Structure 1
Amino acid sequence: MNRFRVVQATLERELAKPYAYGDPARSDCFMMGCALVDALEGRSTVRAYAGTYKTLTGAQKALRKRGFSSLTDFWTTELGRPPVAPAEAQFGDLVILTLDDGAEHVAICIGTRFRTKTPDGSTDHALADVVAAFHIG
């Protein structure tokens, strides 16, 4: 299966799941990012982090407990490579957004937009919201 189809299938599957923090049977933006990394790189990040938090506050605590100061810090370590400039993001890459609420969100590059999952559904964002990008696959 080519990259486009893998990314499309993964996004469709993750966005169709009900929203729930840290539950792989459901999904949040972090689990969506983990599922994409797993699909494109053959990793097991969903399994590694499933059930480690149940709320947004719990997710932030789980990051700090593991010694990470941000999602960018986490993914840099997890992927074993530094982020690239946001404008270098390509289709299917993982990005970190900072939105108006001040919270960080994991999103996927879908061309010139970046799709994330929120409790209110999926939302698309512009390059201006991206603070870090990681080439995946």
Structure 2
Amino acid sequence: MNRFRIVEATLARELAKPYAYGSADCFMLGCAFVDALTGSATADKYRGAYRTLAGAQRALRRRGYASLVSFFAAELGQQPKGGAEARLGDLVILRLADGAEHVGVCLGARFVTKTERGRSDHGLADVIAAFH
């Protein structure tokens, strides 16, 4: 299956799941993409590690990370790139209007994340880091 089909199928599958912290949120969306594109088992490693937003933040700090950017840099073994370098299927960290960081995916000219209200599309200005 080519990259486009993998991205399309993974996004549809993850957005179809009802939002739930620790199993079907933006972080797990990012993990699902890492797994789909690399064959790893990142989602299994972190699924169920938290059940609330505060719990997610504690879990991140407990593992020694100050942000989603530092977490994915270590997990993926690469330095973050600028948003303009993102290509289809790349993982991105978005900073939304409320100041919160969200994990998303690059769909070319737009970036998608999962929120409690469902799919949320964003532009390049909201991307603070990208990972190939």
Under a length normalisation based on structure 1, what TM-score does the superposition of the two structures give? 0.95
> For the aligned residues, what is the CA RMSD?
0.5
Under a length normalisation based on structure 2, what TM-score does the superposition of the two structures give? 0.99
Q: Count residues in correspondence.
A: 132
**Which runs of 4 or more aligned residues in structure 1 lie more than 6 Å from their structure 2 counterparts after TM superposition?**
none
Q: Tell me what 2:87 maps to.
A: 90
Q: Secondary structure at the match of 2:36?
A: helix
What amino acid sits opposite 1:114 in the alignment?
F
- CA distance in 1 between partners of 2:50 and 2:105 (Å): 21
What amino acid sits opposite 2:16 in the alignment?
A
Deviations 1:18-63 (Å, cap 9, x if unpaired)? 000002xxx1110011001001001111100000000011000100
Structure 2: 5+ residue stretches without partners: none
Structure 1: 5+ residue stretches without partners: none
Matched, 1:81 2:84: no
- Matched ranges for 1:48-67 at <5 A: 48-67=45-64
- 1:117, distance to aligned residue in structure 2 (A): 0.3
Counterpart of 1:107 (choices 104, 107, 115) is 104
- CA distance in 2 between partners of 1:33 and 1:76 (Å): 13
Q: Tell me what 1:39 maps to.
A: 36
